[in-house]
Structure 1
Amino acid sequence: MGTRVIIVDDEPLAISVIEGYLQRIPGINIIATFNDGLPAFEFLQENEVDIMFLDVEMPKLTGIELVRSLQNPPAVIITSANKDYAIEGFDLNVSDYILKPITFERLLRAISKVKESLAYKKNAENPTEKQYIIFKENKKNIRVRLDDILYFESIKDYVKVVTKDKNIVTKLSIASIEEKLDKSMFIRVHRSFIVSLKHIDSYSSVSIGIGEVEIPIGRVFKEEVIETLESKLY
């Protein structure tokens, strides 16, 4: 069946652009489009939806009002020409905030992020799915909860795994660890660092703060890191 998507926007051209982009992405099923929030609200009461692309300024029922009215909303990607609703979007826990005009590359990144988040949520709800990772230290296998990991630091041929209550040093490359991690939970910010998104306390254009530790943002990673963090803020 694929990922079930609806589009809510009072501009026919905007709906057409989003539809055209989504049709280029495998596994996406556009099940409905609406030019106002009210019929979208009624549809959502009766149908399962995974992702909703949502404009803000619409007659009858705005995008913000629509999200507030839903008890169990789908993942929401706001699409707006106006930055002013970003804080409200953040308060409503939207998945992403895309400024118009929308490019295919930007929409694809948003879809990828949401699909990863949906997959993680599904795994978290299923206790049989992986919630731990095992590291070898001094011939001992140590099981670590993914939620407890703050960051990874590469030190020559080893990686230090920093958790809430202990550090583990294992003989692995940081690249091999990155391949095993859920990208909705962790992000590579530097050639020597991977951080847990949920444990980030602060950030600037050059560093990330986790507790009292300042982790540098590498030049080649900067654009993706800042974009990811700002989309979380929005």
Structure 2
Amino acid sequence: MNVLIVDDEPLARDVLQTYIEKIPSLQLIGSCQNAIEAFEQLNSQKVDLMLLDIHMPQISGIDFLKTLAQPPLVIFTTAYSNYALESYELNVVDYLLKPIAFDRFVKAINKAMGLQKNRGQERQTKAAEPQTKGSDYIFVKADKKLIKVRFDEIFYIEGLKDYVILHTPQGRIVTLQTMKLLEAKLPAQLFKRVHRSYIANLSKIAMLEGNMLELNGKSIPVGKNYRDELLAIINEKRL
């Protein structure tokens, strides 16, 4: 993972560089003291993760992040706790308060690596889409019948004990099945587990507000263990 440090404090940059050197999977590719330098680095080389301070001269870390159309993964490193809520709305990986302990730094890096891995898997899935074209439906056993259901007709899937409910334009289809087994049969590029009891069709998402996802006029919850991966997917389509 290629890492860029952006911080106007030399001591803070030195601490972060020392931490990075202790983790073999990280590669420091630049250390900048302001957003202008960081912008040049982002345009000249591949950056996977940016360790970004908030209080900096000329342009704050938050304002700088807002200018980026396709930002890398970002971890805020700051001495101020009052920007945590705003950073959450910007979908950053983590928010580290100075002085930053090494174990806390490692935890944030592990989280970033998980998100990077998810992005890679999504790209691989998209690349493989032509090979799976044509497999656009499944047969579901319900009411003693086998019903053909196209994937693009499913808004979301709801788990209820040993049953699952497929929500479609034609109504609900209830079948005896586990969420885990059904999830394995769904195309990963189209469907995403967003809660222990819900699988969403990504193409049907109308809005994400807080921890609620809206599809076809209905709202379903997003579990905290699934939110980061969902946000990573949404951010790839974000303007």
Which TM-score tier does this pair reach, normalised by the shorter chain?
0.5 to 0.7
Decide which of 28, 31, 41 is 1:30's aligned counterpart: 28
Aligned Cα RMSD in Å?
4.5
Shift of 1:178: 4.8
Q: 1:152 to 1:115 in 2, by over 3 A?
A: same
Q: 1:108 to 1:181 in 2, by over 3 A?
A: farther
Q: 1:152 to 1:37 in 2, by over 3 A?
A: same
Q: Is contact 1:6–1:30 with CA below 8 Å preserved after alignment?
A: yes
Decide which of 46, 49, 53 is 2:47's aligned counterpart: 49
Q: Measure, in 1, the Cα distance between the counterparts of 2:208 and 2:34.
A: 37
Q: Is contact 1:8–1:15 with CA below 8 Å preserved after alignment?
A: no
Show structure 2 runs of 5+ residues with no match: none
Q: Is contact 1:7–1:15 with CA below 8 Å preserved after alignment?
A: no
* Residue correspondence of structure 1 range 51-90 to structure 2 within 5 A: 51-70=49-68, 72-80=70-78, 81-84=80-83, 86-87=85-86, 90=89
The structure, 1 or 2, with the larger RCO (C-alpha pairs under 8 Å, 6+ apart) is 1
Q: Measure, in 1, the Cα distance between the counterparts of 2:225 and 2:208.
A: 18
Structure 2 residue 214 is matched with structure 1 residue 210 = yes
Which residue identity does 2:178 align to in structure 1? Answer: S
Q: Measure, in 1, the Cα distance between the counterparts of 2:119 and 2:53.
A: 21
Shift of 1:126: 7.1
Decide which of 155, 158, 167 is 1:162's aligned counterpart: 167
- TM-score normalised to structure 1 length: 0.63
Q: Is contact 2:75–2:92 with CA below 8 Å preserved after alignment?
A: yes
* Residue correspondence of structure 1 range 1-234 to structure 2 within 5 A: 3-11=1-9, 12-13=11-12, 16-17=15-16, 20=19, 24=23, 26=25, 28-70=26-68, 72-80=70-78, 81-84=80-83, 86-87=85-86, 90=89, 93-100=90-97, 103=104, 104-117=106-119, 119-120=121-122, 123-124=125-126, 128=130, 134-138=137-141, 139=146, 142-145=149-152, 150-163=155-168, 167-169=172-174, 171-178=176-183, 186-190=192-196, 192-195=197-200, 198-199=205-206, 201-202=208-209, 208=212, 210=214, 213=218, 215=220, 224=225
Larger gyration radius, structure 1 or structure 2: 2
Which residue identity does 2:113 align to in structure 1? Answer: I
- TM-score normalised to structure 2 length: 0.62
Show structure 1 runs of 5+ residues with no match: none
Identity %: 22
Q: Measure, in 2, the Cα distance between the counterparts of 1:58 and 1:98.
A: 16
Q: Measure, in 2, the Cα distance between the counterparts of 1:165 and 1:54.
A: 48
Q: Measure, in 2, the Cα distance between the counterparts of 1:184 and 1:95.
A: 24
